[in-house]
Chains A and B, each alone.
Chain A
Amino acid sequence: MKAKTADFGHSASQPRRTPILLAPFQYLEKEWFLGYALITPACILIAGLVAYPFIIALGFAVSDKVIGHSGNFVGLTNFKNLLQWPVFLQTVWNSFTFTFYALLLKVGLGMILALLMEKIVWGKNLFRGAVLLPFIVPTALSTVAWWKMLDPQYNIFNWIGTSIGIIEQGPNWLGDPFWAKVSVILVNAWRGMPFFAISILAGLVAIPRDLYDAATVDGAGPINQFRYVTLPMLKPILSVVILFSIIFTFADFDVVWVLTRGGPTNSTHLFATLAYNTGLVSTKIGEGAAIALFLFPVLVITVVIQLHLIRKDSTE
């Protein structure tokens, strides 16, 4: 860190604004100079490994590049082909339904968890510690456990069902398109739920007690208190968390790839897994980049709304 700033001081020994030459260390006292010096490493990183790859992605997407060969410019052919490819259209539909149901589960379960965490007295720390675990442990590793638990032959839910005799033979979980979708949504929700729970809990704790007292005086029962006090007060935090989660649920890779690889017969692909499959497994990296770029509009919408919320927050 030190070496970096000192280095920068040397390279700027021909200043444009200051007429008199300053010794390098004197520049570090200038607020603007230190500001630029400290932000430079972050800027280089973002320019080189985020902005530059993004430009390459645009180039890939309009080329017929295959791994190991330089591609030719093909215009919008990739996009045209994608929009006529049933697997891709299925992926678009999957992405929306996956995000919708997974988010619904995460908000619902996260809310219940947060309310429980707020009320619980005995075993509070243990509960809080356990709840966060799915979020901390590497997703690929916990999903491997789910993968075996949901395996058609050794499925634990089917085993429970047949053992207590409510079902004769359970569904073929990861082998059946419908149940495979249920599985990936379930595991994604399992993994993302703690984030919602903890964020909502932070919001719950911040609600002033007198609002509830006033509601009680007005004769509101627990359900009305939740509806007219808790929910409105949680709205700002909920909107930020949901927006944040939309982009990362949409762009999920780990859960689907480990659990189903997009199968059976491409029924559970999301943009990320289809891009990986097309770009690296089938080596059509141009087409793969075009698929991944479909995540970009989602990102733009999320960013615009988020920035709007932040601005509103700071002006109020």
Chain B
Amino acid sequence: MTATQFQKFAKRALWLYIPVFMFLIFVLLPFYWMTITSLKQDRNIFDPEANPFWFNMTPTLSHFWDLINPDKTDFLIWMQNSFMVAGLATLISVSIGIMAGYSLARLRFKGAETIGSSVFITYLVPPSLLFLPLSQVIDQLGLMETKWAMIVSYPTILVPFSTWLLMGYFRTIPKEIEECAMVDGCSRIKALIRIVLPVAIPGIITAALFSFTLSWGEYLYSITFVTDSWEKTIPSAVVGELIRGDVYYWGELMAGALLGSVPIAMIYVFFLDYYVSGLTAGATKG
């Protein structure tokens, strides 16, 4: 390595990789800390002098065993609830989103523009604006204290996003493909199902991923509509059920937070590019 090469290398390390490394620490710190704490013995966790970033006693899996032991916590039920709520809310929302997105992107009818604007406005309505009156509606529907309260209410957050995303996606598909199929004797519905949907699969995957992620992590609606441990999803249950009064089950809390994040993180690792495209679609179009 010559002197100039070394200088170039040093400059790069200084201006690029040192900041990158610092950002990585900042971003990953809570996850690292969560993992370490979940594996610590209780006496280690509650020692204020101990190094918080490493073990002072032998690591233990006991907090994880406590979680999956049905006699101690309902963790497995919460996990099951989360999968059911997020799965169904996603299925409903993406189906409605496909229909609405196609309708707004492709079909001409009176009032389409007004409806399009109201979908967009709904997209910007934060859940915290309407959670109190929504609990009244959920009560009128007889869904209070059940998983269905969440399955029914999450689409209000997910449908506007999915519609907006898919509308943009359908617009990029050339109209000619559909028209060709219709000239060949395909009905409009058939052309939509056989021709347009297969081409739109990347957009549909993106909408589904975001819907699943948002419903998996939703917290405000779930603590508003459900207080019964058996009906809770992971975020509300871990935060609500593992802290009783002033007693914090810190080991179990961190183990629960970690396990509750793992399914989402795994999906995320496999579909990173879809997440990125969904985020930028939301940013540039919405």
Contacts and interface: CB of A to CB of B under 8 A. Distances in A.
B102 A38 contact: yes
B16 A42 contact: no
B76 interface: no
Interface string A34-68: 11101101110110111011101100100000000
Nearest to B37: A148
Contacts of A57: 129-130, 132-133
Contacts of A28: 187-189
A5 interface: yes
Main secondary structure on A side of the interface with B: helix
B137 A247 contact: no
A116 B137 contact: no
A145 B256 CA distance: 11
Contact of B126 (A123, A130, A199, A295): A295
Contacts of B217: 137-141
Contact of A156 (B52, B109, B126, B213): B52
B128 interface: yes
B265 A307 contact: no
B250 interface: yes
Given A116-B16, A127-B20, A247-B126, A140 B133 contact: no
A296 B100 CA distance: 26
B117 to A, nearest CB: 7
B73 to A, nearest CB: 15
Contacts of A82: none
A202 interface: yes
A37 to B, nearest CB: 8
A46 B187 contact: no
Interface string A229-248: 00000000100110010011
A151 to B, nearest CB: 9
B128 A251 contact: yes
Interface string B141-174: 0000000000011011001100100000000000
B206 interface: no
A218 B285 CA distance: 34
Main secondary structure on B side of the interface with A: helix
A107 B108 CA distance: 39
B283 A45 contact: no
A253 interface: yes
Contacts of A253: 127-128, 219-220
Interface stretch (A83-91, A96-104, A174-182, A270-278): A270-278
A164 interface: no
Contacts of A129: 268-269, 272
Interface string B247-286: 0001001101100110011001100100110011011101
A261 B108 CA distance: 49
B22 to A, nearest CB: 10
Contact of A307 (B108, B120, B128, B279): B120
Contacts of B160: 46
Contacts of A207: none
Contacts of A133: 27-28, 31, 265, 268
A299 B280 contact: no
Contacts of A35: 103, 107-109, 112
A141 B256 CA distance: 8
A133 B32 CA distance: 12
Nearest to A202: B280
Contacts of B124: 244, 247, 299, 302-303, 306
30 contacts: A29-B188, A41-B100, A50-B125, A56-B133, A129-B272, A130-B24, A131-B23, A132-B275, A137-B265, A140-B217, A140-B236, A140-B238, A142-B30, A144-B238, A145-B30, A145-B33, A145-B254, A156-B53, A159-B51, A159-B52, A202-B284, A240-B283, A244-B124, A248-B126, A251-B126, A253-B219, A258-B239, A271-B128, A276-B128, A307-B117
Given A38-B103, A41-B100, A120-B20, 16 more contacts: A4-B99, A25-B187, A45-B155, A45-B159, A49-B152, A50-B122, A57-B130, A132-B276, A133-B265, A133-B268, A140-B235, A141-B217, A141-B238, A145-B30, A275-B132, A285-B132
